[in-house]
């Protein structure tokens, strides 16, 4: 996908009715998942506490829809002093900052379960560009000024880019992720969302790493 072939303004691929239906589905699925996964979430919480102490929940400010900051929640997978030297990109599953339990949670994407609360609140959707920190957004914008186009839609728990780009552990992957997120923005539909949701579920259950 050549950069000069993308229009300066990329419209949302969904119409108003589709966006409303997507939001209603997000709320219903989030409520159902919170009930179904409550025992697993409790087990994750206790495992983090027993392995590396408090806090078990990790909250961090990310940038969401309309460029507004919000608190995103995860189960803590890194040591408390992981960013004592400042923000650093995750170096994958071999990152030495990961705790023993945290590595397991990340490999199985269980650390993302608290984001069901973010979906219920309306901070996030199930499908959408992954929310980023302002620190990294500023770095991306220096290379590609189209990033703010993503502010049209809610960030997601999983995304088109996550499936095909994996963890963004390098600046090059961050720019590649932006290309994929912009493609999703322009082409998103309820069918594409269902496809992404199914592929995410399948890969997690099948034990595929992404």
pLDDT digits (tens, 9 = 90+) for 116-167: 999 999 999 999 999 999 999 999 999 999 999 999 999 999 999 999 988 7
- Burial class of residue 125 in the structure, from the number of CB atoms within 10 Å of its CB (0-12 exposed, 13-18 middle, 19+ buried): buried
Question: Quick one: pLDDT band at residue 2, thresholds 50, 70, 90?
Answer: very low
Residue 3 lies in a domain: no
Rounded-to-integer distance, Cα 147 and Cα 4, Å: 15
Nearest Cα to Cα of residue 76 among 46, 48, 104, 118: 48
Expressed as residue numbers, the domain containing 187 is 13-206
Q: Which of 106-110, 139-143, 168-172 has the lowest mean pLDDT?
A: 168-172
Say whether 70 sits in a helix, a strand or coil: strand
Is a pLDDT exceeding 70 seen at residue 84?
A: no
Q: What are the start-end ranges of the E strands in the chain?
A: 57-63, 69-75, 125-127, 156-158
Check residue 1 and give its pLDDT: 42
Is a pLDDT exceeding 60 seen at residue 86?
A: no
Residue 37 lies in a domain: yes
Question: Quick one: pLDDT band at residue 6, thresholds 50, 70, 90?
Answer: very low
- CB-based contacts of 158, cutoff 8 Å, min separation 6: 126, 127, 130, 196, 197, 200
Residue 1 lies in a domain: no
Check residue 3 and give its pLDDT: 43
Mean pLDDT of the chain: 90
Check residue 167 and give its pLDDT: 77
Residue 4 lies in a domain: no
Residue 185 lies in a domain: yes
Q: Which of 67-76, 92-101, 110-119, 198-207 has the lowest mean pLDDT?
A: 92-101
Is a pLDDT exceeding 80 seen at residue 101?
A: yes
Please give the residue that has the higher pLDDT: either 183 or 1.
183
Check residue 13 and give its pLDDT: 85
The residue to which tokens 């919170």 are assigned = 34
Check residue 4 and give its pLDDT: 40
Residue 193 lies in a domain: yes
Residue 116 lies in a domain: yes
Residue 8 lies in a domain: no
- DSSP 8-state class, residue 187: H
| Domain total in the chain | 1
Q: Quick: pLDDT tens for 35-70.
A: 999 999 999 999 999 999 889 999 999 999 999 999
């Amino acid at each position: 996908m050549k950069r000069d072939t993308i229009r300066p303004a990329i419209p949302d691929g969904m119409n108003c009715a589709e966006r409303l239906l997507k939001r209603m589905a997000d709320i219903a699925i989030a409520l159902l998942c919170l009930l179904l996964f409550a025992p697993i979430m409790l087990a994750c919480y206790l495992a983090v506490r027993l392995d590396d102490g408090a806090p078990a929940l990790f909250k961090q400010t990310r940038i969401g829809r309309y460029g507004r900051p919000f608190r995103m929640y995860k189960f803590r997978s890194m040591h408390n002093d992981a960013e004592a030297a400042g923000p650093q990109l995750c170096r994958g599953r071999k990152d030495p900052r990961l705790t023993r339990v945290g590595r397991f949670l990340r490999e199985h994407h269980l650390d993302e379960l608290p984001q069901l609360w973010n979906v219920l609140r309306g901070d996030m959707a199930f499908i959408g560009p992954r929310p980023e920190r302002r620190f990294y957004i500023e770095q991306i914008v220096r290379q590609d000024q189209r990033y703010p186009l993503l502010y049209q839609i809610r960030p997601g728990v999983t995304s088109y880019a996550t499936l095909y780009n994996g963890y963004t552990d390098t600046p090059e992957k961050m720019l590649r992720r932006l290309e994929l997120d912009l493609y999703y923005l322009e082409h998103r539909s309820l069918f594409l969302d269902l496809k992404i949701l199914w592929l995410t579920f399948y890969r997690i259950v099948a034990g595929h790493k992404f």
